[in-house]
Amino acid sequence: MVKYIHIPIGKTANGATLALPNYDNDSASYMNIYAAIPNRMRIKPGAIEHIKTGIGIGIPKGYECLITSNYEKVLDHGMIVLGAPLAISSTFRDELIVPIENKGKETIVINRGDVIANLTINEVQQIIWQEV
């Protein structure tokens, strides 16, 4: 059974015209997030670029946001989210910026509005240690 939660989201000026993160279909477990860059960007093999998304989200207490590599981008271009999965807690309130690394052999071209990564929101539990 799918659980729905309401999460506040805001757009920065450079993300104002872009789509909000969205699911490919009603069975998808992740949402696509998009490049909020003013101009085409090229990432050479082995290089890392920090790509703005143009969004900030209000993750509720008891949840986390995970940013992961997009499966198709990994297979087609060797494009990965550096350090994935990136765990973002409910205390973070700034624009999401995704560190992208080119692990492929060709330069990757990213245009404004291109899918750069995937986002999931997950319920978390806090631990109370019981020392033995």
Contact present, 59 and 89 (Cβ < 8 Å): yes
Distance, C-alpha 49 to centroid of its chain: 14
pLDDT value of position 97: 97
b/e code 110-124 from CB counts within 10 Å (16+ = b): bebebbbbbbebeee
Domain ranges of the chain: 9-123
Report whether pLDDT(111) > 90. Answer: yes
Report whether pLDDT(101) > 90. Answer: yes
pTM over 0.85: yes
pLDDT value of position 16: 95
Mean pLDDT of 63-72: 96
pLDDT value of position 26: 87
The architecture (CATH level 2) of 9-123 comes to Distorted Sandwich (2.70)
Rounded Cα gap, residues 132 and 81, in angstroms:
38
The whole-chain average pLDDT of the chain stands at 95
Q: pLDDT by residue (tens digit) across 29-58? A: 999 999 999 999 999 999 999 999 999 999
pLDDT value of position 3: 84
